[in-house]
A and B are shown apart, each in its own frame.
Chain A
Amino acid sequence: MKLEIKNVSKRYSRNKYGLKDFSMTIDKGILGLLGPNGAGKSTLLKMIATVSKPTEGMIILNKNNILKDANYIRKQLGFLPQDFGVYPNLNAFEFLQYIAALKGIADKEIQFKIEQLLNGLNLLDAAKKPIGSYSGGMKQRIGIAQALLNDPKIIIFDEPTVGLDPEERVRFRNLISDLAQDCIVILSSHIVSDIDTIADQVAVLKNGSLLSYSNQEKLIDRIDQKVFEVAINKEHLDNFKNNNIVISTSRKEDKIAVRYISESPIDGSVSQTANLEDAYLYLTKTN
C-alpha cells in the first residue's frame, strides 16, 4: 500500500486556498493529522476520499491515479466525514445495510458483520431504534461503523473522536490499532492525546501546508531539552508571553505556572520532559 499526494492544491476562490502545493507519501500504518482550525485537514482528507477534486496535482494509490479512476480507491475505502448525517427514520441496522449496499457488498454476509461492528462499538442495544433518537456520540459511532463495513484498506477518519466519552475513545483506539498491519489509516484531530498513543507517523498542517511529517520521536526530538516550567507573577504574564513560546498556563496559589519552550530559560525554570503536545504547539506557534 502506498498513497502518493503530489503537488496538490485546492483553491476555493481566487486567493483562497484550502491546500497549497501539498505533497506527501503515505505508507501503511496509522497516520495522525494535526493542525489548527482551518489548516486544511478536512480539505486533504476529502480529496483522498474522492469526495472533492483537487484544482491541481495528482493523488496516486499503488500506481493508480485516483483522480482518473475514483472507483479504484472507492472499492477499498472507508471514510468518516467530519460532518455527516443519517436518515433519521432508519435504525442502525437498516442504515448500515443501506451503506453496505451503496458500497456494493453482498447482502447475506453483511448481517453478521454489522452485528459484530455494532457490538464492538457498543451500539447493539440501540440498534433497532431509529437513528433520529441517538445521542451525538452514538451517531458518531454509526459513522465509524459505516467506514469499516467493507474491509477497507484505506481508512480515513476526519475527527473520529468528536463527541465520544473517554471510555468510547479507548474502545475506538483499540479497534483501529488492530488495523494498522496492512492498511493505511489516516485520522485527523486537534486533540493530541488522541493521536499520540496510536499514530505511527504524525503530520502537522497549517494554512494549507505541511509543517512536519515524521514519526513521533523525531518530532519530539526537535524540542528535547527545551521545555521548562516556571512560576511567575500574574502581572508579568503578558510580557512573558511576548518573549517566549508559552505552551500552557495554570494557576498555582497566587502565582501562575507557565510551561514554555526556550533555548535559554529564565532563572528558576525547571526542565520538563517534552511530549507530542509541546512539539505540536511549538510548530504551529512558530510557523
Chain B
Amino acid sequence: MKTLLDPCCDRCTHTPETPCRDYVRCLTEGPICHDDPACKAEKQRLLKEIKPNEENQQIFVCTGTGCASCGAHNIVDSLNEEINHQGLANTVNVVPTGCHGFCEQGPTLIIEPRQILYTLVKPDDVAEIVQKEFVEGERVERLLYVDPLTNQPATTFANANFFAKQTRVVLNNCGFINPEKIEDYIARDGYKGLTNALQKMTPVEVIDEVKKSGLRGRGGAGFPTGLKWSFCRQAIGDKKYIICNADEGDPGAFMDRGVLEGDPHAVIEGMLIGAYAIGADEGYVYCRAEYPLAIKHLEIAIRQAEEVGLLGDNILNSGFNFHLFIRAGAGAFVCGEETALIASIEGKRGMPKVRPPFPAQSGLWGKPTNNNNVETWANVPHILRNGADRYAQFGTEKSKGTKIFALTGKVNNTGLAEVPMGMTLRDIIFDIGGGIQNGKKFKAVQIGGPSGGCLPDEMLDLQVDYDTLTKAGAMVGSGGLVIMDETTCMVDIARFFLNFSQSESCGKCTPCREGTKRMWEILDRITKGEGKEEDLDNLEHLAVVVKETSLCGLGQNAPNPVLSALKYFRPEFEAHIRDKNCPAHVCSALMTYSIDPDKCKKCGLCAKSCPSGCISGDKKTPYQIDVAACIKCGTCADVCKFGAVIRA
C-alpha cells in the first residue's frame, strides 16, 4: 500500500542521497517540482487518510506508559477485532498514541473528529463503544468523564475542564498521532520549522528568532535558550555537539517521557534546528533507561528520519549534516546535571564538574556542547514554524510560552497539563487538577521536585513563572507538582525529599554528601519525637551552608524543601518538638491510641487484631489499650467498625 512517504511518480527525485529541498512541503502541498493534478490528488488522498474526518473516523487510544500498564494494548487489539467484525475497517481507524495527559483516568481514548473522550476503558467495553459510536451514532454515557467541578459528563474532551483550561503547544500532537509514524507528524505540519530555518534563515537569524521568542530552558534553571545557543555558536571549535537531556529524575515528573513517547519527532526537529543554528553535526539524547517506550519510539523516529533524509548528510539539499544518537542513562538523579550527564555519555562516572569551563566552551569530549531539556527542544519547531511573535503571545513578561506540569499526589486529575506561563497555582490545581481527592483540604504543593519548595494555601494565587516561584522559595524546576492534603505531615515530607537528595548525592563535595545526611538525621529525630529545641536553628543554619557551599545544583537546592517548610509551616515542626505531637497524625512514633468507651461496642475485633496483644476487655468491660505496650501500629483504628479507636 502506498504511503504519504512514497514518491508520487518517477519524476520525484528525492532520496537521502539526492535530497530535494522542498521534500517536506511536497508531502503536504505537493508535488512542487512538477504540476500534475493526478499526483496532487494522490497526495491529498493519502494526507486525508492520516487526518481524521467523517469518512475516516479515528480512535486515538493512549498507549503511553501509564495506560499501557492498565491494559491499553488489549483495548487496541479488541477495537481492531471488533471493527473488522462489524465491517467498519474502511471508515474507522484505530491509532495507538502517546499520553493524553489524563493518566488518572486511563486507559483513555478519543474519537475524532467528534472529540469524544472515554475514560477508564476496559476491553469488555469495546464492543459497546463500537456498536454505539459507529453503528448507532450514540454515546456510551457511563464511560464519559464526569467533571468533578461541575458533576456533569463531558460531552467532548475539549469540554472537560482538564483539557479546556490547557494551552497545548508542545503537547499539540501528543495523543493525536501515531508516534511510530513520521508521516503522522509531517501531516500535522512537522518538519516545517526545520524547512523554514534551512531555506529562509541563516544560523544567526535562527538564534535571533529563538531569542525573540523569549524561550527559557525547561530543564529547571530557566536559562534563555537563544542566548545559550549563541555561546556555543561563538565558541571556537572544529566539532560541536548538542545534547537532549531526557534524564528526568525528579520524583513525580514525567512530562519529558510524555513528549518523547508521544511526539518524538518534535524533539528531533527541535534538535535539528538547534544543531543548524549552533553549527553542530552530532547530537545525543541522554534518556533514562527506565523509559523503554520513550527509547523505542525515539529509535524508530530516528530511523525513519534517516530513511527519508531528514537526518544524515546534506539534509534537504542544504549542505547541513546532522547525526543523532541515543544514550541510555543508568538511573542516577545527578546524571541530569549537565556536566555529570556529559561525563556519563563519555563513559565515566556521572559526577558534576566545576564550571567554568562551561559546556559551551568545553563539553562532550572537550568540544563546545549545547545541552537542552526535552521540552525546551520540543518548543523550538513551533517557534520556527509560526514565528517568535506567535509563540511569545503566551506567558508573562519574562517567562514566555507554555509549560507542562506533571500533577501528582492528592489531586483528582493526576496527569500532564500544559498551561501558559503565569497561570496561578490555584487554577492549575483546582480547575485543571479538579481539586483535592475525597473532598479533603489542600495543605501544600511541592513544586520543582527535590530542588523545589513546599508552598502553603496562602501562596495558591502565585503566578507560576520562573521568577515569582524562585522568590517564594520554590522553583519551576522540571515542572513536577506534588499536591498534598491535610493528612500530610510537612516534617515527614521534608524528611522524604532530603532522603532522596542524600541518597542521590554523588558524594563529591563535603556539604552535600555529609550535610544532607545530618539534616536528614535532625528531621528524622523530630519525626520520632526526639527533637530538641535547638534543632530547628541548627537545621536552618546547616541548610544555608549546604545551599551556599555545594558544588552543583543538587546540593545547592537540596535544602529548599526544608527551608520552605520551615518558612511556611514552622509551628508544625515546633509541635513535634515541644508537644511531641504530629498535627497531621502521620508520624507514628508521636501517636497515641486509646478507645472511647462510649463508642466501643465491645466487639473485640481490635483485641484480636492487635499484634502486640495489648488490648484487653470483654463483653462486660469496655476494651482498653495498655499504652506502655502499644507499638503504635494503628491496626486497631483501621479495623474498628465503630470509630471507637482514637488516634491522637
Task: Say whether A and B bind each other.
Answer: no
Binding site for B on A (CB under 8 A): none
Binding site for A on B (CB under 8 A): none
